């Protein structure tokens, strides 16, 4: 079945690009990657893949994307790190047009399997007020009190997937991603997430010789971060196994943001003076993935250590920084 058509919505994005590479490496020869961005803005763009620039908010474009598809992976959404989703709530909610139209188009096209990328932002905020957070079980999404904007759109689409299965027989799978990071991701510009933002700040401080770093919040907020290779493997396993309910896909290695900075400093071989921007967007105080169910369903869970993943991520961002700005550019600018 390596010639079956696989469609990846959001194929020009960070996770979508890695998922395209994952299936290419497994020998699949009929992959269609779809994204709204111009091709020169795609995170990864591959020869031998049918690459389409389409706005998936439009139903006709979703029909074009799903035509002849056996499997559809919908990762397309308007999103970014906490600095973006807390200030672009309407834009995040409008992703419901993508979600709705892709489900309709997949059903009408006779797609066999449909995957939707949800988020840990669906979880009830009252269960995430303490840094010493109890890992979030799937049932903790209800009673509903999701992240305003982005989280509500994700939770609504989870329900749509459920009802498309119940009412139309569409095979759907839903994974709740927990903070995915790795090479080829956004590392500047306002949409980057904490691992990339902190890596960039450490690189800039080291290059400039100005050993200071600004941290959003008090640094005590806790998170888990999943390396991209665990994410793509998990998507594949969830799609092709009996996982009939939304399920966590994330690492359960909990760290504070201060500990994440410690890791990046150690990789860079530098110690920085920390300044805390307490009025910056920081999200919930604590969030971690309970992996009990994914282990029950799959006998597997994300396991790549944060230190190992951050080593690769930091090195890649460093190379991107030097390629774009030149080695020593920050020091020259501050002179």
Residues 207, 244, single domain; the answer is no
Contact 43, 17 (CB under 8 A): yes
Question: ∠ at Cα 105 (110, 235), nearest 5°?
Answer: 80
Q: Which domain holds residue 204?
A: 183-223+253-296+305-334
Do 103 and 155 share a domain, yes or no? yes
- Segment-wise mean pLDDT, segments of 10 residues, the chain, 335 residues: 95 97 97 97 96 98 98 92 83 95 98 97 92 92 94 97 98 97 94 93 92 92 96 98 98 96 97 92 86 98 98 97 81 46
Active site (annotated) includes residue 325 = no
Output the pLDDT for position 99: 97
The CATH number covering residue 59 comes to: 3.40.50.720
Q: Are residues 218 and 235 in the same domain?
A: no
Q: How many separate domains does the chain show?
A: 2
Domain assignment of residue 1, yes or no: no
pLDDT at position 335 is: 37
Let me know whether 146 and 202 are in one domain. no
- pTM of the complete model: 0.94
Examine the domain organization and report whether 245 and 259 are in the same domain.
no
Q: Are 102 and 154 part of one and the same domain?
A: yes
Task: Return the percent helix, strand and coil in the chain, to nearest 5.
Answer: 45, 15, 40
- For residues 10 and 102, is the Cβ–Cβ distance under 8 A? no
Classify residue 324: in a domain, yes or no. Answer: yes
- Residue 271, classified by CB atoms within 10 Å of its CB into exposed (0-12), middle (13-18) or buried (19+), is exposed
CATH number of the domain encompassing residue 324? 3.90.25.10
Task: Report the half-sphere exposure of 319 (CA within 13 A, side-chain side).
Answer: 8
pLDDT at res. 331: 52
- Same domain for 192 and 279, yes or no, is yes
pLDDT at position 330: 55
- 286: in domain: yes
Both 105 and 166 in one domain: the answer is yes
* 211 φ/ψ angles, rounded to the nearest 5 degrees: -85, 60
Torsion angle of alpha carbons 168, 170, 171, 174, nearest 10°? -100
pLDDT of residue 333: 45
Whether residues 97 and 132 fall in one domain: yes
Tell me, yes or no, whether 194 and 73 share the same domain. no
CB atoms within 10 A of CB 231: 27
The reply to whether 237 and 278 lie within a common domain is no
Catalytic residue among 22, 116, 123, 150: 150
pLDDT for the residue 59: 98
Indicate if 234 and 216 belong to the same structural domain.
no
**Among candidate residues 259, 276, 266, 272, the one with its CA nearest the CA of residue 207:** 272
């Amino acid at each position: 079945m390596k010639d079956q058509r696989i469609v990846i919505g959001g194929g020009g994005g960070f996770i979508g690009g890695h998922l395209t590479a994952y299936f290419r490496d497994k020998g699949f020869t009929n992959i269609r990657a779809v994204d709204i961005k111009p091709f020169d803005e795609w995170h990864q763009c591959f020869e031998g893949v049918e690459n389409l620039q389409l706005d998936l908010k439009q139903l006709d474009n979703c029909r074009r994307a799903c035509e002849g598809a056996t499997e559809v992976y919908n990762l397309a959404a308007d999103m970014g790190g906490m600095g973006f989703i807390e200030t672009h709530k309407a834009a995040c909610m409008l992703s419901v047009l993508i979600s709705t139209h892709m489900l309709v188009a997949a059903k009408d096209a006779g797609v066999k399997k449909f995957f939707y990328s949800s988020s840990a932002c669906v979880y009830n905020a009252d269960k995430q007020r303490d840094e010493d957070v109890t890992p979030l079980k799937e049932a903790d999404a209800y009673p509903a009190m999701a992240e305003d904007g982005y989280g509500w759109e994700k939770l609504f689409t989870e329900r749509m997937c459920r009802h498309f299965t119940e009412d139309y027989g569409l095979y759907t799978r839903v994974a709740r991603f927990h903070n995915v990071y790795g090479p080829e991701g956004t590392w500047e510009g306002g949409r980057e997430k904490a691992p990339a933002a902190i890596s960039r700040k450490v690189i800039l401080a080291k290059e400039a010789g100005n050993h200071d770093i600004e941290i959003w919040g008090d640094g005590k907020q806790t998170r888990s971060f999943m390396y991209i290779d665990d994410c793509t493997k998990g998507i594949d396993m969830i799609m092709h196994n009996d996982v009939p309910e939304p399920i966590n896909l994330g690492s359960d290695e909990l760290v504070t943001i201060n500990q994440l900075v410690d890791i990046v400093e150690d990789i860079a071989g530098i110690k920085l003076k920390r300044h805390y921007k307490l009025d910056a967007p920081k999200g919930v105080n604590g969030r971690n993935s309970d992996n009990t169910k994914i282990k029950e369903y799959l006998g597997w869970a994300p396991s790549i250590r944060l230190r190992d993943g951050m080593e690769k991520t930091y090195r890649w961002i460093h190379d991107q920084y030097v390629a774009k700005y030149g080695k020593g550019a920050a020091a020259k600018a501050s002179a």
